Amino acid sequence: MVNHLLSRESKGPTGLILAVVALMVVFSFLNPRFASVENLQNVLFQSSVPLIIVVGATLVILMGSIDLSVQGVMGAAGMAWILITPNTRTGLDYGVWAWVIALGTGVALGLFAGLIYERLKVPSFVATLGTWYVGLGIGIMLYGNGLLPSLTNEALARWPTRLTLGIPNSFWLAGAVVVVGLVIMNYTRFGRGLLAIGNNEAIARSSGISVSRYKIMALAIAGGLSALAGILATMQLGSGSSDIGSTQLFTVIPAAVIGGTALSGGEGGVLRSSLGVFLLVILNNGLVLAGVDPDYQQGVFGLILILAIVTVAWPHRNRLKVAK
């Protein structure tokens, strides 16, 4: 089964795994603490939020679209969740319904973007950019002028870091999302349909795949996952903030690209994008541990991104290749 899962992703991700391993070796050399159990747990903890997002983002990118709305959806859902979970501000406790409502907010925002994209034929870039602001606006309005809401439920606030079998709960959640993402991608008609759309939308349409519904649904799932990430991030922080998702977009999209998921659609997969997330999180963590001047962090990040994509693309150069 696992073998089957892996084989369906375009080409083996061996190169990527090697890159991750190489990076780990270099960083362990620079600071022996890098390879400590605590740090590996730390890396898993830090990758869990972007991992959840990257699954949704990959579904969307595989069909050739893009989802920029991550930050807004996370802000809206995170705020919605914390305000109806035991907190210092409202004192409301909706229990499970808090999750349902927050995830619902994310799915609704995803649907909103999807409908604008598919029904109004506004490019996904713009539809999701607009949704980013709309979500952020909802988060800001929920935040209002009141107190900073913090979780009062100790168990809930500790849950993300608590270890189960030596692995933080956050990562168990993210891992489950990745597995579900892999199953959707490889074992459902929906997932295969997204690949078909990414490969050639016109054919997908004419061969009767309900392209519109698939697209809207992919964006809705991405919205739901961003919402889940927003909840997890809020839980990790212990307090609500409408900016909870800031900078996530610029981790997740490069991660997908480094993983070899083509922005034009049809190529790549959840597993590869996840490896891309690991690569970037390890890079960030390693730079801190190695004591690189923070001013240079963005630059090193940019350089690695360029090197990674150029290395992948270099052998495929050809006089007539079109790369956009």
Partner 1 sequence: MMNKIQTISSSQPSFGGVIPPGGLTRHRVVAAWHALAPVLVFVSMLLIVGILNPNYLKPLGISIVTASAAPILFVALGQAMVLNIGSIDLSNAAISMVGAILVALWLPGMGVMGIVAVLAVTVAIGILNGLLVAVTQVPSFALTLGTLGLLQTAALVTSDSQTIYISENRELIAALYSTSLLFAPLTFWIGVFVALVYWGLLSLTRLGLGMTAIGKNERAATLSAVPTLPIKVITYAISGLSGGLAGLAIVAQAGSASASGLGSNLLLPGIAAALVGGTSISGGQTNPINVVFGALTVAFVPIAIQAMGFGAEAQSLVYGLFIITVVALTTSRVRGAVIK
Partner 2 sequence: MTQTPPPVLRLINVSRSFGAVKALNNVSLEIRRGEVLGLVGENGAGKSTLLKILAGIEKPDTGKIEMNGVEVKFRGPNDARAAGVGVVHQEQSLFTNLTVAENIEQHAMTGSALSRLGLQDWGRLNREAQKVLDKIGAKLNPNTKVSDLSFIDRQMVEIARAVCIDPGRRSTPLVILDEPTAVLEQQETAVLEREIRKLREFASVIFVSHRLDEILRICDRVVVMRSGSLSSDRPTAGVSKADLFSAMVDGQAEPVIHARQRPAVASKPAVKVTRLSRQGEFHDISFEVHPGQILALVGASKSGRESLARTLFGAETHDGGSIEINGKPVSRWSIRKAVAAGLAFVPAERKVEGIVGGLSSTRNIALTNPGVGAVGPFLRPRTMARVAKDWFSRLDVRPGDVSLPLGQFSGGNQQKVVMAKWLNSDALKVLILDHPLRGLDVGASKTVNAQIRAACKAGVAVILIPDTIEEALEMADDIIVMRDGLRSARHDLHSNRNLAIQDIVADMV
Partner 3 sequence: MKTKSLLLAGIAASTLSGAALAAPVAKEDMVLVVSVINTTNPYMISNIEGGKALSEELGIPLEIVNSNGSSQTEIAGIMSILASGKTPIMFVNTVASSDAPTIVDAVKQAGGYVTIWWNKPADYKPQDVGDNFVAFQKIPGLSSGACGAKAIAESIGGKGNVVLLPGVPDSTTSKTRVAGFRAEIEANWPDIKILDERPSNWDPQLGARNAQDLIVKYGDQINGVWSADDGMQIGAMQSFENAGLLDKVKFASDGLYPKTLEDIQSGRGNNAIVGETFHRGYMASAVGLYTAYLAATGEIVPSELSDDKRESLFQLSCVTPGNYQQYLQYDEPGAPAAFVDRLVQNGPWATDPMPLVGGGRADASEW
Backbone phi, then psi, for 176, in 5-degree steps? -60, -40
The CA-atom distances, in angstroms, between 214 and each of 56, 117, 141, 195, 266 are 13, 12, 31, 11, 14
Question: Can you tell me the distance from the alpha carbon of 91 to that of 114, in angstroms, rounded to the nearest whole number?
Answer: 34
Measured in whole angstroms, how far is the alpha carbon of residue 37 from the centre of its chain? 25
Pairwise CA distance, residues 82 & 282, whole Å: 29
105 binding partner (options partner 1, partner 3, partner 2, none; Cβ < 5 to 8 Å by kind):
none
Per-residue contact flags (x/-) with partner 2 for residues 133 to 172, judged by CB under 8 A: ----------------------------------------
Q: Which two tokens stand for residue 90?
A: 């409202």
Binding status of residue 150 toward partner 3 by CB under 8 A: yes
Residue nearer to partner 3 on the CB measure, 42 or 200: 42
Whether 240 and 83 have beta carbons less than 8 Å apart is answered as yes
How far is Cα 277 from Cα 181, in angstroms, rounded to an integer?
15
Which is closer to partner 3, CB of 65 or CB of 131? 131
CB of 71: closest distance to partner 2 in angstroms?
26
Give the start-end residues of each E strand in 66-133. Answer: none
Q: Exactly one of 203, 307, 313, 323 binds partner 2 (CB under 8 A); which one?
A: 203
Name the site residues for partner 1 (rule: CB under 8 A): 61, 64-66, 72, 116-117, 120-127, 129-138, 140-141, 143-144, 200-203, 206, 250, 253-254, 257-258, 262-265, 295-306, 309-310, 312-314, 316-324
Is residue 35 near partner 3 by the rule CB under 8 A?
no
* 37: contact with partner 2 by CB under 8 A: no
Dihedral sign (CA 44, 45, 48, 50): negative
Site residues for partner 2 per CB under 8 A: 4, 10, 183-184, 186-190, 192-193, 195-196, 198-200, 203-210, 213-214, 217, 266-267, 319-320
